A and B are shown apart, each in its own frame.
Chain A
Amino acid sequence: MPLLSVDDLTVTFRGGHGRPPTRAVDGVSFQVDAGRVTGLVGESGCGKSVTALALMGLLPGKGVDRGGSAVLDVGAGSEFVASGPVDLLGLGPGALRDLRGSRIAMIFQDPLSSLNPVVPIGVQVTEILERHRGLRGAPARKEAADLLDRVGIPDPTRRLKEYPHQLSGGMRQRALIAMAVACAPRLLIADEPTTALDVTIQAQILELLKELVDQEGTALLMITHDLGVVAGLCEQVNVLYAGRVVESAGRRELFAHPTHPYAHGLLGSIPRLDAPRGDPLHPIRGSINDRIAWQDGCAFAPRCDFYDEECLEGPPALTEPRRPDHRVRCVHPVLDTTAEEVTA
């Protein structure tokens, strides 16, 4: 059974003050297996970050409605949490606090604003070790230095005394990763961890994440908009559009046969570094604002090249038009790609 199983997750922000409620996540289902990298891909407003925050229990309690389930196998239990599978959405604040950091950890997009600017890195790392592993004093500092060393921060004992602003962007993200993996969490959620970084630094961080997954057996839920990052890192890919998973497949299958018109269009619209120059780009027309509610039909229909009346006959179901394990939410999947079948 999978480590994390998200089923029909919905997150609705109640409007209030006369504003209509917004459904940011609209029935998202996916699974994360232990020791693998699972990708959640989508553009801004597709609900990928809200999904992450919902899993971490970091959404505000007031004004937000949650639905569905997100069952995590937490392993050994603790004071607040039973062992084995636990529905994260049903947990109270105490239990969530207990799980965060020890069983699930998160890496955010902006490493500078995720670190407390007036507290040395070392204190921020040892705090976590104290909270979840009861380490303090010299052993905690030793462990913190080891952690920094493991994420590739040179001269870790000196770095422990430094403040976040004294570190470069890449080093800060490494420090955040060190804090996230300090208690060997079973699930690591990375929300656009390299978007704020330069491309050469991004390569270093992605390499580090890969290494952590390989060596520690941590499951990584990678949230990104960058299809290039997905292609290099994720084994299972879920494409989100307007709060729903529209396509889900292994990465080779997905990139070879993008079957949902959105995924298909996305891949056709990005310039590739290795493509011959002069290949025109095929943009997706309109913008994310041009969408309809899922209950009325396919949210992508207004931007879709294959749109017809059928698309507006209620929400499209997830089907497997090409092969098992390749699920597509579309009534007109793109099946006539000429590329040869991959044997993955």
Chain B
Amino acid sequence: MTAPIETTGAEAEAQPEAVLVGVKKSQIEGRSLGQIAWMRFKRDKAAMAGGIVVALLILMAILSRPIQWLFDLDPNKLNQNLVDPTLRAPYGGWGGMSWDHPLGVDPGFGRDLLARIIEGSWVSLVVAVGATLLSVTIGVIMGVVAGYYGGWVDSLVSRMMDTFLAFPLLLFAISLSASVQDGFWGITGLPLRIGVLIFVIGFFNWPYMGRIVRAQTLSLREREFVEASRSLGARGPFIIFRELLPNLVAPILVYSTLLIPTNILFEAALSFLGVGIAPPQASWGGMLTEAADQYEVDLQFMFVPGLAIFITVLAFNLLGDGLRDALDPRSK
């Protein structure tokens, strides 16, 4: 080929840039998808706020015991002198708010609410995050296997998911929590309650994650780069770990973030029903239960744990929405 203006190969790409460099002041720098996502996320103020609140909550949960020790807060210390024995309501207005007890005390026993909220935060988060991890793990494995291998494997897993979703979860949770006795598997007390909650919430919620991952895998499997990988001679597991999973990270991350608040609410609901965390251990759901009995004498008591749950759920949801927008390559 002896064309007069033939330009292929390296030349063809290099030359325009040579002209452009003289004209453009600055070259646009290459960025990875992660950097682009972070740039987008930073611009989303609501998501940033949600992220900061979530980060503070996690910090509070991790440091709950040191904080209690540092500020001399004891969630289980009874202050009967602060409660009117006849009315069973705290002395003073606003639920007994004072410098010593910034959020007031609970009506029955005069326990410090701030201390109980801080103590309850780690319980709520451990249960919610633990359950989320459990359902995400099961869901991702099942979803990827069903989506990638298809055929009878897919049919089996899909029917399994249908079965799980049809399960009367709440009734099961109540009966399971009631029937598991102390000393089960050698675990007792609080760790057992938390373990049971994580199992009940996480194990029965995986099909939601499974369905999302399966659908994503099905569409990814048909994408040309997966086919390209197969045509290059890659084996099944390689394709799953190298081609599919990195592309599933975004939806998994987003859905997990949105699953955590649901699980916080679920934990609260179970504790509210009296089958979750057993008193006197502080938990947000448990505090709501106690408050429900007392709302006529002290509305504040219900307001505090309710607000804590509300802020947490809202923050996680804002963070999840923001992540979804930032990670979605289509929303450019």
Contacts and interface: CB of A to CB of B under 8 A. Distances in A.
Chains A and B come from one and the same complex: yes
Interface string B1-28: 1111111100111011101101110000
A302 B16 contact: yes
A285 B3 contact: no
B6 A296 contact: no
B159 interface: no
B20 A290 contact: yes
Contacts of A303: 16
Contacts of B40: 17
A282 B2 CA distance: 10
A297 B24 CA distance: 12
Contacts of B8: 283
B15 A286 contact: yes
A290 B40 CA distance: 25
Tell which of B2, B5, B8, B11 has the most Cβ of chain A within 10 Å. B5
A280 B3 contact: yes
Contacts of A290: 16-17, 19-20
A286 B12 contact: yes
Contact of A297 (B3, B4, B6, B23): B23
Interface in A265-314: 265, 268, 280-283, 285-287, 290, 292, 296-297, 301-303, 305, 307, 312
Nearest to A305: B5
A307 B19 contact: yes
Contact of B12 (A18, A283, A312): A283
A286 B5 CA distance: 13
A296 B13 contact: no
B77 interface: no
A219 to B, nearest CB: 35
Contact of A301 (B3, B11, B19): B19
Contacts of A307: 19
Name the prevailing secondary structure of the B interface residues.
helix
B6 A280 contact: yes
Contacts of B230: none
Given A17-B43, A280-B3, A282-B5, A302 B19 contact: yes
A282 B20 contact: no
B41 to A, nearest CB: 11
Contact of B6 (A18, A282, A301): A282
Contacts of A283: 6-8, 12
A283 B8 CA distance: 8
Contacts of B19: 290, 301-302, 307
Contacts of A296: 23
A65 B318 CA distance: 32
Name the prevailing secondary structure of the A interface residues.
loop
Residues of B in contact with A, size category:
20 to 34
A285 B23 contact: no
B20 A302 contact: yes
A32 B209 CA distance: 55
A285 B10 CA distance: 10
A17 B36 CA distance: 13
B208 to A, nearest CB: 28
A305 to B, nearest CB: 5
B27 to A, nearest CB: 12
Interface in B105-135: none
B11 A282 contact: no
A265 B7 CA distance: 12
A226 B329 CA distance: 29
Tell which of B8, B13, B16, B43 has the most Cβ of chain A within 10 Å. B16
Nearest to A16: B43
Contacts of A265: 5
B13 A312 contact: no
A261 B253 CA distance: 50
Contacts of B6: 280, 282-283
Interface in A14-57: 17-18
A290 B18 CA distance: 10
A285 B16 contact: yes
A340 to B, nearest CB: 21
Contacts of A282: 3-6
B167 to A, nearest CB: 34
B238 to A, nearest CB: 33
Contacts of B22: 312
Contacts of B17: 286, 290, 302
Nearest to A306: B5
A336 B43 CA distance: 54
A305 B16 CA distance: 10
Contacts of A312: 22-23
A285 B1 contact: no
B244 to A, nearest CB: 28
Given A280-B1, A280-B6, A312-B23, A286 B43 contact: no
Contacts of B7: 283, 285
B300 to A, nearest CB: 42
A331 to B, nearest CB: 15
A280 B3 CA distance: 7
B43 A285 contact: no
Contact of B11 (A17, A18, A285, A302): A285
9 smallest A-B Cβ distances: which pairs? A286-B16, A290-B16, A302-B16, A302-B19, A285-B12, A280-B1, A285-B7, A292-B23, A280-B3
Interface of B: 1-8, 11-13, 15-17, 19-20, 22-24, 40, 43
Given A292-B24, A302-B15, 8 more contacts: A265-B5, A282-B5, A282-B6, A285-B15, A302-B19, A302-B20, A305-B5, A312-B22
6 contacts: A18-B43, A280-B6, A283-B7, A285-B15, A287-B16, A292-B24
